[in-house]
Structure 1
């Protein structure tokens, strides 16, 4: 069973990201604003794990900064800074089934659009960075498409 370890943003950052989703959709570009699943919300994925057992204390809240917008493969994302220490603790404790989450390859980001048209980042050129905090954590169960909240600080869970 594969589960994600994700960080959620404070209400102001969440609203700011959703406003960008809406801005992209209004311009006719692809956007997560049109993603219909009930679990769809702005987040940063730290890892994909078979079990939450051994997950370390996440030490939330943690200050973060979002921006600039860029293409990451075919996704339009906002870069996220401020999470390297949290990610390193998670990686050291539980690793990840996704090699792109290895510390030397991980690109912390919040997705704005998947399968975006190349150059979509130009729609958000010059966007000022947004600052706030990662305040909560959750785990998305990939097979069942459900989420459970994770405590912000603990020794282990399952």
Structure 2
């Protein structure tokens, strides 16, 4: 089992080049306005992503095998319609997801739990709030800046074209053979 304070392993959906570029451009605009984003957060190797599951404890080999055993459901489009603000100034793009995507997330969460991994409570079946992180600490006036910048690029349609396991402490990425 691996675990550490502030360290997590995530099952992430990654975007095609266009969507990745558009989100990175949003990060850069916000950084230019003094708002911290994933571009400058921790190790600086973050990529735009939508997390299916975030694990606080895991056995990497077992979790990887469990997720790789899930059927490849293929890529899909995501429609970003708004902003969601979480506690402590975390702000994200809010995607509308099809029922099939919510079912996929529950299957991933179930596989991770069955593998002995401990999910972060916000990724437990029935508790997932799909989001793509934008700002890491935007409060007060900064929150208004983020919401305006996001509103200026919406609506935005993106494409999920691959999946990976990502270590949040280092940015190390292990591509998955399919998209659960």
Distance in structure 2 (CA, Å) of the matches to 1:145 and 1:27? 25
Contact persistence 1:69–1:124 (CA under 8 A): no
Residues 1:7 and 1:125: Cα distance change in structure 2 (over 3 Å): closer
Contact persistence 2:52–2:123 (CA under 8 A): yes
Q: What's the counterpart of residue 13 of structure 1?
A: 19
| Residue pairs, 1:2-151, within 5 angstroms | 3-35=9-41, 37=43, 39-49=45-55, 50=58, 51-55=63-67, 56-73=70-87, 74-82=89-97, 83-95=101-113, 97-118=119-140, 119-120=143-144, 121-124=146-149, 126-127=151-152, 128-142=154-168, 145-151=171-177
Residues 1:142 and 1:111: Cα distance change in structure 2 (over 3 Å): closer
Q: CA RMSD in A?
A: 2.3
Residues 1:153 and 1:75: Cα distance change in structure 2 (over 3 Å): closer
Residues 1:143 and 1:111: Cα distance change in structure 2 (over 3 Å): closer
Q: List 4+ stretches of structure 1 deviating above 6 A.
A: none
Gaps of 5+ in 1: none
Shift of 1:40: 1.1
Distance in structure 1 (CA, Å) of the matches to 2:150 and 2:167? 34
Task: Show CA shifts across 1:27-59 (max 9, x none).
Answer: 222222323635311001111342223221241
Q: What's the counterpart of residue 5 of structure 2?
A: none
Instruction: Please state which structure has a larger fraction of its residues in helix.
Output: 2
Instruction: Please state which structure has a larger fraction of its residues in strand.
Output: 1
Q: Find the residue that maps to 2:20 and give its secondary structure.
A: helix
Shift of 1:19: 1.1
Compute the TM-score of the two structures, normalised by the length of structure 2.
0.74
Using the TM superposition, name which of 118-127 and 58-67 deviates more.
Answer: 118-127
Distance in structure 1 (CA, Å) of the matches to 2:109 and 2:12? 13
